[in-house]
Amino acid sequence: MLEISLENVSVGFRGPLLLDQVQARIESGDKIGLLGRNGSGKTTLMRMLLGLERPEAGRIEIAAGIKLAWVPQDVPPQTSGTVLEVVSAGLPVEYSLDENLWKKDQSLDRVFAQLQLDPKADFQRLSIGLKRRALLGKSIVGDPDVLLLDEPTNHLDIDSILWLENFLTGFSKTLIFVTHDRAFLTKIATRILEIDRGKLFDWECDYETFLKRKEQALLAQEKQDALFDKKLAIEETWIRTGIKARRTRNEGRVRRLESMRQQRAARPSKSGSMRLAIDSGERSGMLVCDLQDASFGYASKAIVNSLDLTIMRGDKIGILGRNGAGKSTLLKGILGELQPLGGTVRLGTNLQIAYFDQNRDILDPNLTAEENVGVGRTSVTINGRNKHVIGYLQEFLFTPEEARSKIQFFSGGQRNRLLLAKLFAQPANLLVMDEPTNDLDSESLEILEERLVDYEGTLLVVSHDRAFLNNVVTSMIVFEPEGIREYVGGYDDWLRQTKVNRQAKAVSTSTSKMPGTNPATPSGLKSDKSAASKLTYKEKLELESLPSKIEAIEIQQGKLHEKMSNSEYFKQPAAQLASDAHEMQRLETMLLEAYQRLEWLDMRQS
């Protein structure tokens, strides 16, 4: 059944057209992922469907009796009261009549059960995930035919995202949503609409099929454009032949050339892409950070408890956990912004740290984009090359006018791109990033991923973007109910390992209940803990001496780093330079072996 149709809809707000004579038909039961770059018109299109904005041309037809509801991207700050009051605000007016009170109670009970909400809870005291859930309840309590969601996974933790996916999978009505969460798109969308340079393309497929078709379409378009340009060049050469040839021109050919020129001029120009370059600076020491029994928190209340963690140069670590679990607290502890409540934190040598803050606190809203990045300078140095700040910002898709504008009116996507520009304007061999993917469009996300994969330094990143974690990190630190655990690989690897662990635990539990049996132990682990943990006297002495040995190696490394960073250093004879390089390599090998030995002995003892 047809619910909504768009006929030649155009809108531009007196500027270049965001939507140029677009058409679409939305059928009952569609689950549509609406894609497009930041600023392409996705939210504008949804607002027009809701009647909050009007098209400048064309018309939008909504079938009689069709009800629409939406959940905006940001939680309205003025929303207050109990969850019952917030959700009840979405009920139709007629439900307030006495004869319809039973419908009201029935609808509310259904929503609270579906969304697992406490109606008595204070809305303002809820987590961001539960606030979003309450607003979803407000939207669906009136039983809408079409539900619109704008960036529904932004700022949600992984548990909330998985809950939302499960709910929407069972949602039987029509769904239209904007998101840059690729895993969410893959799970939910049955149809893709894409806004690209003012046009609306209906790909009539799920997200994974869309990616394949889009790649094929781009390749075909490139070949077609190249062939057209070649033909146009031949015709332009013909028209510019000598005077004698002009007298005998074929008028039909001239008209055809003019038509080709018009086609070429009307061809949509390619959208610009972010051009990220990350300066990894000088190499840090082999050890980046070592936490021993470290606890972090506020006012003597520990949020991160008794954590042992060693981070080595080149590690790319993803940090995952529910909101409020302590992920940002852990980052601040590693950075030295929080002193440990217990245990020790040891940072390695020669660290150059750059920190991406999800709250964007390092951006001054009263300054322009140019001033925020330049910090009193007109140029920045990237990988040894000077770039004017305005030109540098253009690589992050800011026009010169936007670069000179105060950022207080910037969108979330613009602020995120600006923060990346500021972050990468300085050399760093340790990148610490807290939710860097929020508000970035898919293309910018993929470019960021490519640069981080190639990055030669160390990366710590908090993210709930599952595709991002799979593509970038080599290990995961996960805040689980039982405590903080480390896993090899990305998000999917963590899922597989936790599934195996659950199965092993279930087998162990069931076996232990059988009479005459001992609990099973995982393959490769000894059941006799005392045998595994027994160190010889010599090994115990070695374990005690290893920390001081490591410290001595790092001091030697630091002195050699300092010597090699002197501006006069490379004037020395080639033999001396080669000798120092060999010594640096020897120290790094010794340090790595010492850490591996320490970890092995420590594991056996514990």
pLDDT per residue over 268-319, tens digit each? 666 666 777 788 878 888 889 999 999 999 887 889 999 999 999 999 999 9
Query: Does 58 have pLDDT greater than 90?
Result: yes
Report, as an integer, the average pLDDT of 373-388: 86
Query: Does 467 have pLDDT greater than 70?
Result: yes
Strands 385-388 and 379-382 come out as antiparallel
Query: Of the ranges 77-86, 179-188, 262-271, 508-517, which one carries the lowest mean pLDDT score?
Result: 508-517
Q: Name the strand (E) or helix (H) holding 432.
A: strand 430-434
Rounded Cα distance, 75 and 78, in Å: 9
CB-CB contact of 148 with 173 (8 Å): no
Q: Cα-Cα-Cα-Cα dihedral of 84, 89, 94, 96, to 10°?
A: 40
28 to 172, 173, 240: CA distances (angstroms)? 9, 7, 57
Report, as an integer, the average pLDDT of 136-148: 91
Q: Name the strand (E) or helix (H) holding 107.
A: helix 101-115
CB-CB contact of 192 with 33 (8 Å): yes
CB-CB contact of 39 with 181 (8 Å): no
Report, as an integer, the average pLDDT of 52-56: 92
Q: Which of 11-25, 104-118, 302-316 has the highest mean pLDDT?
A: 302-316
Whose CA is closest to 194, among 22, 74, 58, 62?
22
Query: Does 507 have pLDDT greater than 90?
Result: no
Rounded Cα distance, 275 and 464, in Å: 24
Query: Of the ranges 202-216, 453-467, 573-587, which one carries the lowest mean pLDDT score?
Result: 573-587
3-class secondary structure, 57: strand
What's the mean per-residue pLDDT of the chain?
84
- The pLDDT-based confidence of 412 (bands split at 50, 70, 90) is confident
Cα-flanking dihedrals φ and ψ of residue 154, to 5°?
-60, 130
- Residue 569: both structure tokens together: 């250093």
